[in-house]
Structure 1
């Protein structure tokens, strides 16, 4: 009798463990050129908006369901998307190959300043430093808008009193992508991945927008050109999320007045 109880318990535990891993896929990422494992490859489930990275052996495990799409990216290698299949979920580990990119360094031109000794003349040769300012709007919970000094006031007034057509076109027609914003902000692994990136690739893939449109969104949200050029992907994500929350608040305010 004890043997039957032990066997039943063993089968029950095995079934439970199998069920726990039924929604996960495992694999190893390698360099297609020499089959060496790649460590710290960024992996994101685009459907569930969760992420992970490979370990020192190139191995990974991530939650996924059949037909989910996994995005693999690694510095110096071509990014790829892989569809999760029932066979992958059922039979275990899969080998993912990444192809190395040929990178070319851009030419850097150094201009030497020739000082004359006359302060008025020499000051004119010094490149102008781009100064950015943040402006707060009464009634909004955030720290406000960042913008260049010449057009900051007009942009802020426009964002309040105009219909914000561009934001509506970008935000209003992509509710699924906007829901991903919240998931991206909640997933620590995603945030850690974005904090170390400056290429905007993961953001464009997750939000399903082009790089040009992504920069335009941040620009229309009154963030300066300097911020857009220097911010990491996590800062851009937070900027878009903050802008959208303010846009919704302003839209509700207009609806009540109407």
Structure 2
């Protein structure tokens, strides 16, 4: 009887060991390399964002990057002049070394963004202050709130729109924020990751924002419109400014909703 039990436990131990050897690491840090699909050369300074864990990084001179990840996470890679790409993390990426992700160069030329007239320095905190201010918009501060509302054009309707947003949050904002609690909870995580902030500060197309928040562009515009940001701001702000505007609006909405 004792010999039978010993053999039984040995078989169980062997089976568990075999399973452990077959199962690769399913989370931790993922190492990979980004290359140009046309030339196979490594690509430096590619932005890589884990959309699930809301962390970002950039590739080094060899095109290599390391990022916290788990199986089935989605990585979002972007680089100016190349088609952005989403990649699902698989077991094989952890099990085998030398994972390569290729980006394809866009077939058309991107329009040049002129930044010289604003004398940007490259330092985010300074450049944000130097960006042009919309002189056709009023700012309406609300007692008890730290931020102000941008009312849009100088017209009585601007005041009415702001008061409507303040007095009727259920009508204007609850349908936008209330139906997307998971997306809104990501706002703080996004704002705390320096690599993601730097990426958003360089982009104006809302593409990365829509992927991070899982919102459509029209949803972003609806949120900002109902928070009384001007059309000029919505059209010209970079993605980081849009993120901060949505976050500010959401925080004020939560305060008003509690009341």
Q: Which interval holds the TM-score relative to the shorter structure?
A: 0.7 to 0.9
Inter-partner Cα distance in structure 1 for 2:106 and 2:229: 32
Over 3 Å off, 4+ runs: 143-146
Mark the runs of 5 or more structure 1 residues left unpaired by the alignment. 1-19, 107-128, 254-258
CA contact 2:140–2:150 (8 Å) conserved in 1? yes
1:49 aligned residue: 54
Inter-partner Cα distance in structure 2 for 1:41 and 1:201: 15
Match of 2:65 among 53, 60, 67: 60
User: Would you say 1:38 and 2:15 are equivalent positions?
Assistant: no
1:86 aligned residue: 91
Inter-partner Cα distance in structure 2 for 1:177 and 1:30: 31
Query: SS of the counterpart of 1:147?
Result: coil
1:204 aligned residue: 210
CA contact 1:134–1:144 (8 Å) conserved in 2? yes
TM-score (norm 1): 0.77
Alpha-carbon spacing, 1:67–1:227, altered in 2? closer, same or farther (3 Å)? same
Match of 1:95 among 94, 100, 104: 100
User: Would you say 1:176 and 2:149 are equivalent positions?
Assistant: no
Mark the runs of 5 or more structure 2 residues left unpaired by the alignment. 1-24, 112-133
Give deviations 1:152-202, integer Å, cap 9, x for gaps: 211111012224434212211111111110100111111111111111111
Match of 1:141 among 143, 146, 149: 146
TM-score (norm 2): 0.77
Match of 1:226 among 232, 243, 246: 232
Alpha-carbon spacing, 1:141–1:69, altered in 2? closer, same or farther (3 Å)? same
Q: How many residues align?
A: 212
CA contact 2:149–2:162 (8 Å) conserved in 1? no
CA contact 1:65–1:84 (8 Å) conserved in 2? yes
Give deviations 1:27-48, integer Å, cap 9, x for gaps: 1111111111111111100000
